């Protein structure tokens, strides 16, 4: 009997990783900064999650557990690799990153998305943020795959049109 329980636990965990892996990898990439470190971070968090799998009784809490494990692992890594800083008379050349550029772009994108109809916003979120396939979206919303494809196409077209208007205003 214990072997059956282990196999079921393993299969359940495998299904979870296959289903949620891409979305969790995006979260890891935002923490780690690059794809390679993100994969390592996610792997470490999934290992911790697997050992705690029996304690996570609510399936809706699994993503939160993995995310918390990633954050804690990343914080530990930052602490381990903390650089010691010594005062010097020479200031090294550094590239200056203008945060206003990123926030302006994010603002433009958020405003463009907010102008989309609710259905288009919902399908874009499921497709690109939650990383669901067209078939999964169609199943979840009770529509055909063709409806999902055409809705995504129209939404992306509207976003492109908005981007073209923004570019014309800034260059014109």
- Tell me the per-residue pLDDT of 129-170, one tens digit each, with 9 for 90 and over: 888 899 999 998 999 999 999 999 999 888 888 776 666 666
Q: How many domains does the chain have?
A: 2
- Alpha carbon of residue 164 to chain centroid: 26
Rounded Cα distance between 25 and 50, Å, is 16
Question: CATH number for the domain including 16?
Answer: 1.10.1740
Q: What integer pLDDT is reported at residue 1 of this predicted model?
A: 45
Helix (H/G/I), strand (E/B), else coil: 86 = coil
Query: 121 and 60 in one domain?
Result: no
Which residues of the chain fall below pLDDT 70? 1-7, 82-86, 92, 95-105, 164-172
Determine, yes or no, domain membership for 49. yes
Q: Where are the alpha helices (DSSP H) in 33-144?
A: 35-51, 62-80, 99-114, 118-124, 134-141
Predicted local confidence at residue 137, as pLDDT: 92
> What was the pLDDT predicted at 17?
93
pLDDT of residue 114: 87
DSSP 117: -
Q: Are residues 21 and 67 in the same domain?
A: yes
Contact, 112 vs 159, CB < 8 A?
yes
**Which pLDDT value is given to residue 145?**
94
pLDDT, position 48: 93
Phi-psi region of 56 (alpha: psi -120 to 50; beta: other; left: phi over 0): beta
Q: Is residue 85 part of a domain?
A: no
């Amino acid at each position: 009997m214990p072997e059956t329980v282990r196999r079921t636990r393993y299969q359940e965990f495998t299904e979870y990783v296959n289903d949620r892996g891409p979305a969790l990898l995006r979260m890891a990439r935002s923490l780690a900064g690059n794809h390679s470190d993100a994969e390592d971070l996610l792997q470490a968090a999934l290992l911790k999650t697997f050992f705690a799998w029996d304690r996570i009784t609510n399936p809706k809490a699994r993503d939160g557990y993995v995310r918390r494990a990633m954050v804690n692992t990343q914080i530990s890594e930052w602490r381990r690799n903390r650089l010691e800083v010594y005062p010097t008379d020479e200031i090294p050349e550094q590239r200056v990153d203008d945060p206003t550029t990123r926030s302006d772009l994010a603002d433009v994108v958020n405003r463009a998305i907010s102008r989309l109809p609710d259905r288009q916003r919902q399908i874009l979120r499921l497709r690109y943020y939650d990383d669901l396939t067209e078939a999964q979206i169609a199943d979840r919303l009770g529509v055909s795959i063709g409806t999902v494809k055409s809705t995504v196409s129209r939404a992306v077209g509207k976003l492109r049109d908005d981007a073209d208007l923004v570019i014309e205003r800034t260059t014109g």
